[in-house]
A and B are shown apart, each in its own frame.
Chain A
């Protein structure tokens, strides 16, 4: 009996001892709590934002785009674009190396690009899937040790920004690795290298070059919002992403940490699907009429949704592009349900005996955007206030909603967000590059928008382009296929010990973070 007691005391002491070794952030270690898992370190397979945020610390890019949209050199010191706009020649800084010591030359840059495109590898990440298809990438050729030429198939004013997203690595090391090795043991070119990776749990990076103020960066995967907030407030984590809006005040009151709210660049909208199949559906016929679409703009109180459900005061968006590039002459639609009802009456959709004007299905995915489920329900409430009978259909995001979206087969009303950028209005507008673009989920085909793209391609000066853009944005504002909502705010919980500023483009780069 006595023996047992001793054992008990010993194990209790053991527990106490263990208690002092909390997994804590320390002077040379920065801990970040992420909401989604990291799935790969293969540069050409990275596709999610969280994954890219980690991998960007391991790989350098040719140029970098800052939070404010300005372009700064990274591996490339200079960029020259040919007359016809089809050849981009980058000058690579000499003396750079990869983590295994191999010198990084123009040949390696060309290899990084061509490898991502190689069909034998069947990569589906951001580089081949988004960047290359957006710019019409042809090939990359090393002209000398320091000069590399990227060839694209059509003139594109935003190609430089997109090419800046491609991760650069060395040729010899990657030629030796199998695809599986490349996915787990990257040999990078950036200032951090991968120390260890436990899928579903944590990623550890350690510093090998400048820039960077912390010797170690640890990413912990914490899917549950309350758990993330608790870890932050307890001081175990320095930065958390995706703070739940209703937990912001608690974190701010904790004294140990504060929430940084940034208006992001992701454009959130309610789309009107105008395709012929949907025109045959209840409500699908009504929204064919631009007057009805405009009426519904007045029915929804977007600032109230922002301040209440997102805990972030916002100004309603006026179109498809981010505010710095918007057409400044367009005021946001005000919340005016009376006007909405008048316009609906005028458009021929009077209230029936039961108070309903028309029935319409509203589809959405769940768990992808900030508080999406509640935002959708709130919009449905506003629409039913002006006499619509809204059938809300909220689905599993990945396996159900995304396939519908990709087939452009969702609606007649649907809720979606589209990643945007500050550095060019054209980047944002490219969603609707052609009426049959894969990203034109609305099937909108107004020639006053789509015919203007040839004008933009032919335009001689930025000023001339801007005039065309403003005219297009006006059409979009008045008769477009989006119910304008808001730019999604991003919330980062940041420990008081840390000096770090969040960017508006969802990029969490830690190079400049310092201790207070």
Chain B
């Protein structure tokens, strides 16, 4: 297993190098960002000076190698628009996104299991029909639209939930203000509900269908039939046999799910004024703030790779057929 982990970690280095190279090249197509940071009245001389100060006067490959060299020393460069260390800015925005992603993942997976199980148990009844119709719609509605509609209905009209904004939870924890973090919990979750649903609704729908079909498959297996014929109560059958096997495919999803939810986060953070990494990186791309984009991409890739590694390890644990 250790050789597996080490091999995966070595591969990850290659992957992260590739990821930085791609984003570096993509942002340099169409010229360097100097023009975004000089006044309209700047002379050619002044523009050249700024270009030099920002480090864009070097050939591209030199810039990239310099960047890699700096990363090895822990220097991710300064944001062009904030003029502060890019990594600090990215790590400052990360907690808000993690809160939102984790919440929506819990929402998407946590509700998908009961929904899927119920739909499977009551296959063909209105319960099944209702849940599956909802799931079908959930897979057809763009998240930004769902977000705006929820703001207007639950936020503005019914006033059940806040319209937008974010109450930090992880940040005070990291800063050692445990009391603030604890007192923030209810409010923080309260603010998370609408954006969390908007991000996670698609995944919830997909996962509910996934759980339903894998549950149906398990229920038709011999051992379940045997258990039933032995007179074990239906409830015990479901919990002890069916459920245990039915949620395996969901576990494999968790890793990929993160990347998927992140896609929704870029849009939803804009709609709900959520100060996270999705909005940060979108703005940074538009402003060609290359150091911030690079730092975000590295952070997100590392999280993504780590998560998938963990998922693989867990999967190997719970499914003895898988050998690492």
Contacts and interface: CB of A to CB of B under 8 A. Distances in A.
Given A133-B46, A233-B156, A234-B163, A124 B190 contact: no
A40 interface: yes
B166 A201 contact: yes
Interface size class of B (residues with CB under 8 A): 35 or more
A45 interface: yes
A183 B187 CA distance: 31
A438 B92 CA distance: 37
Given A226-B148, A227-B163, A234-B156, A133 B83 contact: no
B224 to A, nearest CB: 26
Given A122-B50, A199-B82, A222-B164, A399 B38 contact: no
Contacts of A133: 39, 41-43, 46
Contact of B283 (A21, A37, A42, A222): A37
A179 B273 contact: no
A42 B288 contact: no
Given A200-B93, A220-B165, A406 B40 contact: yes
B174 interface: no
B288 A129 contact: no
Interface string A428-453: 00000000011100000000000000
Given A183-B84, A201-B166, A224 B42 contact: no
A438 B42 contact: yes
B159 interface: yes
Contact of B190 (A18, A47, A201, A439): A18
Nearest to A126: B39
A95 interface: no
B41 A130 contact: yes
A122 B53 contact: yes
B50 A17 contact: no
Interface size class of A (residues with CB under 8 A): 35 or more
B89 interface: yes
Interface in B142-176: 148, 151-152, 155-156, 159-160, 162-166, 168
A86 to B, nearest CB: 19
Contacts of A180: 83-85
B163 A236 contact: yes
A222 B151 contact: no
B209 interface: no
Interface string A277-292: 0000000000000000
Contact of A227 (B84, B160, B271, B287): B271
Nearest to A419: B40
A53 interface: no
Interface in B239-292: 270-273, 275-276, 279-280, 283, 285-288
B295 to A, nearest CB: 14
Contacts of B168: 198
A230 B151 contact: yes
A31 to B, nearest CB: 11
A39 B43 CA distance: 25
Contacts of B288: 398-399
A231 interface: yes
Nearest to A23: B165
A40 B82 CA distance: 6
Interface in A397-435: 397-400, 402-403, 406-407
Interface of A: 11, 14-15, 17-19, 21-23, 37, 39-40, 42, 45, 47, 119, 122, 124, 126, 129-130, 133-134, 179-180, 183-184, 198-201, 220-224, 226-227, 230-231, 233-234, 236, 396-400, 402-403, 406-407, 437-439
Given A22-B162, A406-B40, 20 more contacts: A15-B189, A19-B160, A23-B162, A39-B81, A122-B53, A129-B41, A198-B168, A200-B280, A201-B273, A201-B275, A220-B273, A222-B164, A223-B270, A223-B279, A224-B270, A224-B273, A230-B151, A230-B152, A399-B287, A407-B35
23 contacts: A17-B186, A45-B83, A119-B49, A129-B41, A133-B46, A180-B84, A198-B168, A200-B93, A200-B275, A200-B276, A201-B96, A224-B270, A227-B163, A227-B271, A234-B155, A234-B156, A234-B163, A397-B286, A398-B286, A402-B36, A403-B30, A437-B41, A439-B41
